[in-house]
């Protein structure tokens, strides 16, 4: 069971499952694979319904894994792959799939964002890629002076506000959760959202409504020259290259200067133990993550490979040069707390509330304290 994606900003995501299955069956003719595509926005509910009904798929692509892991419904990675295959996963991405010291989530369709900027607008404004928040603000002010509607595209709308927000929190020395659980209302997190409110949003440097700007429309506005710079993923590259758009990208800056820890994003492959097909699941997943398959499947413009061997192959291929800087970031990536069973509920609260902290008159401390309360409730609910 896998997600079916619409065509997004010129690049299809995850559209090769049928090819992978056919290629696998050529060398394993006795194995029958049925690929079931579910619309992406309905995928997680479809999986949950199947599991609840006792009809879990053998393998599924999902946004979440911790709930199933804690319920004992998944095979651990150690029972699916041999040691060399396990060791080939990029450690930061493998570690993100760990629940209670055991890896259950198998990363797939990985990505990590960088700061994209319109080089034509930057040249006209007389600025270069920022290496600190002060420089980012200065660049945004210069872009505003030459008439750019949204100098920095702050994407705190409901589509993926948790990604944009966490990138800023990491750059300010914060995060969503520590070793003891969620920790939203920390001094560093409050300071980051306060800086955004007072230094970007209040001065109109992040557009008129950053709490309503989501990723997909932001990408479209960037390509129309309405946004000067923004965080974006390699999924945007094909459209930019095809239209010969004047762009470049840089590492997102730390508040005081230097490169911030990059955000890591991916989906998960899950192997359910309900049907007793552990060997078949392990054999197919091992094939999927072999270097040749991984390069062919995950090395497109929309996603990055999650194994070191496939990354090294792409990193040495001049034709894949546009991906190199993204690949270089992956070992340093930091993640949302997907290892907590309460994360889906908390993620929804972030999408709903985080943008309110940075609008004019917003209360960063209050919003973050409210998220801590929501997270505590979600933890209790998940433990039932």
pLDDT tens for 239-295 read 999 999 999 999 999 999 999 999 999 999 999 998 898 999 999 899 888 877 776
- Which pLDDT score is estimated for 181? 92
Answer yes or no: is 335 within a domain.
Answer: no
**Nearest 10 degrees: Cα torsion 241, 239, 159, 140:** 50
Q: Could you give the C-alpha distances from 373 to 17, 164, 182, in angstroms and in order? A: 41, 21, 10
Q: Is 306 helix (H, G, I), strand (E, B) or coil?
A: coil
Instruction: For residue 176, give its domain range.
Output: 114-263+342-383
Of the candidates 304, 327, 350, which is a domain's last residue?
Answer: 327
- pLDDT-derived band of residue 29, with 50, 70 and 90 as boundaries? confident
Answer yes or no: is 336 within a domain.
Answer: no
Mean pLDDT over 309-318 rounds to 90
Go through 254-274 and write b for each residue having 16 or more CB atoms within 10 A of its CB, e for each that does not: bbeeeebbbbbbbbbbbbbbe
Mean pLDDT over 152-175 rounds to 96
Does 248 lie in the same domain as 351?
Answer: yes
Does 225 lie in the same domain as 190?
Answer: yes
Does 14 lie in the same domain as 68?
Answer: yes
Does 375 lie in the same domain as 236?
Answer: yes
Answer yes or no: is 139 within a domain.
Answer: yes
CATH number at residue 351: 3.40.190.10
- pLDDT-derived band of residue 39, with 50, 70 and 90 as boundaries? confident
Answer yes or no: is 136 within a domain.
Answer: yes
Counted domains in the chain: 2
Does 186 lie in the same domain as 63?
Answer: no
Altogether, the residues listed in the chain come to a count of 384
Is the model's pLDDT at 299 over the cut of 70?
no
Does 124 lie in the same domain as 105?
Answer: no
Answer yes or no: is 272 within a domain.
Answer: yes
- Which pLDDT score is estimated for 302? 60
Residue in the block written with tokens 């053998």:
58
Strands lying side by side in the sheet with 265-271 = 59-62, 265-271, 106-111
Higher pLDDT, 56 or 3: 56
- Which pLDDT score is estimated for 9? 41
Answer yes or no: is 61 within a domain.
Answer: yes
Does 237 lie in the same domain as 370?
Answer: yes
Does 21 lie in the same domain as 149?
Answer: no
Does 314 lie in the same domain as 236?
Answer: no
Average pLDDT, the chain: 91
Does 148 lie in the same domain as 248?
Answer: yes
DSSP at 151:
E
Higher pLDDT, 64 or 41: 64
Answer yes or no: is 337 within a domain.
Answer: no
Does 307 lie in the same domain as 225?
Answer: no
Does 180 lie in the same domain as 69?
Answer: no
Answer yes or no: is 332 within a domain.
Answer: no
Cβ–Cβ under 8 Å, residues 230 and 152: yes
The H or E element containing residue 62 is: strand 59-62
Q: Name 380's Cβ contacts closer than 8 Å, sequence gap at least 6.
A: none
Is the model's pLDDT at 298 over the cut of 60?
no
Q: What is the pTM of this model?
A: 0.92
- pLDDT-derived band of residue 5, with 50, 70 and 90 as boundaries? low
Which ranges of the chain does DSSP label H, i.e. alpha helix? Answer: 17-27, 40-52, 66-70, 83-88, 91-95, 119-125, 133-145, 161-171, 187-196, 215-223, 237-242, 278-288, 291-298, 308-315, 324-329, 343-353, 364-383
């Amino acid at each position: 069971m896998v997600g079916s994606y619409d065509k997004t900003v010129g690049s299809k995501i995850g559209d090769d499952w049928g090819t992978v299955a056919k290629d696998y069956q050529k060398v394993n003719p006795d194995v029958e694979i049925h690929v079931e595509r579910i619309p992406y926005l309905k995928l997680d509910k479809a999986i949950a319904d199947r599991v609840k009904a006792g009809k879990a798929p053998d393998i599924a692509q999902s946004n979440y894994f911790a709930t199933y892991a804690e319920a004992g419904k998944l095979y651990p990675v150690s029972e699916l792959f041999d040691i060399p295959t396990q060791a080939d996963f990029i450690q930061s991405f493998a570690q993100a799939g760990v629940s209670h010291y055991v890896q259950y989530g198998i990363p797939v369709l990985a990505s990590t964002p960088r700061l994209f900027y319109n080089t034509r607008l930057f040249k006209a404004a007389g600025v270069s890629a920022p290496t600190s928040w002060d420089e980012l603000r200065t660049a945004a002010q210069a872009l505003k002076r030459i008439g750019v509607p949204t100098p920095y595209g702050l994407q705190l709308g409901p589509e993926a506000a948790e990604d944009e927000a966490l990138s800023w929190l990491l750059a300010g020395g914060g995060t969503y959760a520590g070793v003891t659980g969620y920790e939203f209302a920390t001094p560093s997190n409050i300071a980051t959202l306060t800086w955004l409110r007072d230094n970007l949003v209040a001065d109109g440097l992040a557009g008129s409504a950053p709490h309503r700007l989501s990723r997909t429309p932001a990408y479209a506005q960037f390509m129309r020259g309405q946004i000067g710079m923004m965080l974006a993923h390699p999924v945007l590259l094909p459209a930019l290259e095809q239209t010969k758009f004047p762009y470049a990208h840089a590492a997102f800056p730390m508040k005081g200067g230097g490169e911030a820890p990059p955000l890591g994003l991916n989906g998960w492959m899950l192997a359910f133990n309900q049907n007793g097909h552990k060997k078949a699941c392990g054999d197919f997943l091992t094939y999927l993550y072999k270097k040749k398959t991984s390069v062919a499947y995950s090395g497109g413009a929309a996603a990055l490979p999650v194994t070191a061997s496939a990354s090294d192959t792409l990193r040495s291929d001049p034709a894949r040069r546009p991906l190199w800087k993204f690949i270089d970031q992956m070992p340093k990536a930091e993640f949302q707390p997907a290892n907590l069973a309460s994360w889906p509920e908390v993620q929804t609260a972030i999408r709903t509330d985080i943008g309110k902290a940075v609008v004019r008159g917003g209360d960063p401390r209050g919003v973050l304290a409210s998220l801590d309360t929501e997270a505590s409730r979600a933890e209790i609910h998940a433990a039932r």
